[in-house]
Structure 1
Amino acid sequence: MKNATFNRVALLAALVVLCALPFTVTGYVLYVVNLLMVFVVLALGMHMVIGEAGQFALSHTAFYGIGIYTAGIVNAAWHPPFVVSILAGGLLSAVIGYVIGFLALRMRDIYLALATFAFGEAMQWVFLNWNDVTGGSNGMRLSPAVFFGLKLTNDLQAYPFVVILAALMLWLTAALSRSQFGSALRAVRESDVAATAMGINARAMKQSAFAISGAFAGIAGGMYTLFVSYINPESLGFQTTILVLTMVVVGGIGSVRGAVAGAITFGVLSELLREAPSVQEVIYGLILMGFMMFKPNGLFAERKRRVARAAAQQGLGGGAAKEDHV
């Protein structure tokens, strides 16, 4: 009960802050908040494939880049309402993610990580060298997003749409996590054999997780095009994958709120260290190694277990633990 009340108060406080920001801060702060919302959706996508399905994939940044370029190209060619271009990026990323999901049927653990890492590196090579489509190493200028005739030319105009999209994706993640589909994903995460014995199609679950994760990353890429006018393929490398992985691991693998908290924390940290990329890599690496060694379940996963133990002692069973899951 206390946990549910805390969740409602925290959500209300976040809504108040987000509503007040456009009237109280400068354009740069709005840019950072827009970027944080993109990171939240990215982290939620990685949460779906790693935290819920237990598939250690390192191809997330590739899907993010596909979403950015697809949305940018569709917008430049036809100037549809930005919802169309974002959905196009999300759909293409989902389809490619479903195909990449075949890897999860044949590989596990480090082998799957290496295979998906190779795919991510191959896609960055495409972004860097497909000059006719992506602009190659020179990058690509993005046309202003359009919303029924209104052009979004600055961070303030894009802000409400970015926040709404992030909130919708958060709601969708929580709904999926609480559903039977989420329970089936977690069963596959724990044991393919046991899940199959329970009547769950483990193959379909794994591929679905990759598709959903790809869709989230593609939509995050489309959101990015709402407030940024230029994309550099150098920013779509392995460093971004490590950043998002750090968000999920530190927040707590398997925790939706952990993914959100990690995205905000490390999104702010990455912006503070933007002028020192080499230092970023060292810091993220040390943090990631530290949590893998000493707190492999992350901050919020630890909290979830404490709530579950307290609920069990009070005779509440697993209900509170399930509530704390999201």
Structure 2
Amino acid sequence: MSSLLGSKEATNRSFRSIADLTVLGLLTLLLAALPLGASGYVLYVVNLLMVYVVLSLGMHLAIGETGQFTLSHTAFFGIGIYTAGLVNNHWHFPFPVSILASAAVAALVGWVIGVLALRMRDIYLALATFAFGEAMQWVLLNWESVTRGANGLRFRAATLGELQLVSDLLAYPFVVAIAALMMALTFAITRSRLGLAFRAVRESDMAAVAMGINARAIKVTSFVLSAAFAGVAGGMYTLFTSFIHPESLGFETTVMVLTMVVVGGLGSVRGAVAGAIIVGLISELLRQAPSYQEIIYGVILMLFMMFLPKGLASLVNGRVALKKGCAS
């Protein structure tokens, strides 16, 4: 009986792998063909969606994998944007260097905040990280000698050798490639021993410690990785835009990214990607009604928490479970 169940489980995994590869192949063909006929605006939206995907994956590592409810993701995103923009403006390094710098600075700040804030739990952690996010926006708005404050920061076009990324079309392949790399890295992390430790801490700190896991170190590691992902997303943003204003890095962006993770499904990498694309498209549709965006995100969050708390990923998992039940 056990061998039969094992065989069925292996078959189900094989089918899921084939389905994943099929979807990945179709998506790759779509993304490869898109520049051939899409307008500049469509390419801009796709570039922006790729940034949202990386942002969502970063929040997934903190909330979905480790269960650390943080509200400072937009602050690290802003740190990434300003770091990459300033590095490019002052030293004119190739964009891979500026993106690595944005990830490193965001990770360093994330480590400092993580060491301090992760002494707290639940609502206290959320409030502490929310306070940091608000403080970071104030810094960006008032540190005029560096960030240009309320005037916003304008940065040079990103470069790679002699190539200047002066359009959405030129930035597109690099943005998509970085997003794909970050997705692959996320899958690698979640399937590694570190990912197992993340989920052990999420389920129970005490049980994780009993198994020999340093729960505090794991929480800080998760927070630092999450911040680094947000920093990379910030660096990606500078590849196809030339201006940033601190007001665009407020609480609304945090709510939007949180909505992406909840809609896609907490604890699911695929859900984080799907949620980023769906909510990102909704955000673009609501661009003409900015005053209603926070209300709509709040309504979406409430509806999903009430009727679909495990997000869209639970629908797919439910179908897989149903098929298993029918097969047995």
Q: TM-score range, shorter-chain basis? A: over 0.9
Separation (CA, whole Å) in 2 of partners of 1:278 and 1:58: 21
Match of 1:238 in 2: 251
Please give the secondary structure, in 1, of the residue aligned with 2:164.
Answer: strand
Matched, 1:181 2:194: yes
Amino acid corresponding to residue 301 of structure 1 in structure 2: S
**TM-score, normalised with respect to structure 1:** 0.94
User: Using the alignment, how far apart are the partners of 1:191 and 1:305 within structure 2?
Assistant: 25
Residue 309 of structure 1 deviates from its aligned partner by 6.2
Q: Give the aligned partner of residue 113 of structure 2.
A: 100
Aligned to 2:207: 194
- Bigger CA radius of gyration: 2
d(CA) in 1 for partners of 2:155, 2:297: 30
CA contact (8 A) 1:55 1:104 kept: no
Contact 1:104 / 1:206 at 8 angstroms: preserved in 2?
A: no
Corresponding residue pairs, total: 315
Partner of 1:251: 264
1:219 to 218, 227, 232: 232
Deviation at 1:40, TM superposition (A): 0.2
Query: Is 1:139 the counterpart of 2:152 in the alignment?
Result: yes
Tell me the equivalent position of 2:4. Answer: none
Give the counterpart letter for 1:284 in structure 2.
Y
Task: Give the drift of 1:232.
Answer: 1.2
Structure-2 change in CA distance of 1:84 and 1:312 (3 Å)? farther
- Structure 1 contact 254–301 (Cα < 8 Å) conserved: no
3-state secondary structure, aligned to 1:226: helix
- Specify the alignment match of 1:154 in structure 2: 167
For residue 239 of structure 2, give the secondary structure of its aligned residue in structure 1. coil
Aligned 8 A contact 1:129 1:136 in 2: yes
Q: Which runs of 5+ in 1 are unaligned?
A: 316-326
Deviation at 1:301, TM superposition (A): 3.2
**CA RMSD between the two structures:** 1.3
Which secondary structure does the structure 2 equivalent of 1:143 belong to?
Answer: coil
Distance 1:92 1:257 in 2: 27
Is 1:166 aligned with 2:179? Answer: yes
| Structure 2 Cα separation of the partners of residues 104 and 120 of structure 1 | 12
Over the matched positions of the two proteins, sequence identity in percent amounts to 65
Moved more, 93-102 or 296-305: 296-305
Q: Is there any run of 5+ residues in structure 2 with no aligned partner, and where?
A: 1-13
Q: Which residue of 1 aligns with 2:90?
A: 77
Match of 1:91 among 104, 107, 117: 104
SS of residue paired to 2:159: strand
Letter in 2 for 1:163: V
Q: How do 1:38-53 and structure 2 match up within 5 A?
A: 38-53=51-66
* Distance in 2 separating the partners of 1:227 and 1:246: 24
Q: 1:20 to 1:151 in 2, by over 3 A?
A: same
- Cα distance in 2 for partners of 1:143, 1:209 equals 33
CA distance in 2, matches of 1:103, 1:287: 32
How far has the Cα of 1:103 moved from its partner? Answer: 3.8
2:240 counterpart SS class: coil
Q: Distance in 1 between matches of 2:69 and 2:256?
A: 15
Sort the Cα spacing of 1:302 and 1:196 in 2 relative to 1 into closer, same or farther, 3 A: farther
In structure 2, relative to structure 1, the CA distance for the partners of 1:86 and 1:274 (3 Å cut) is same
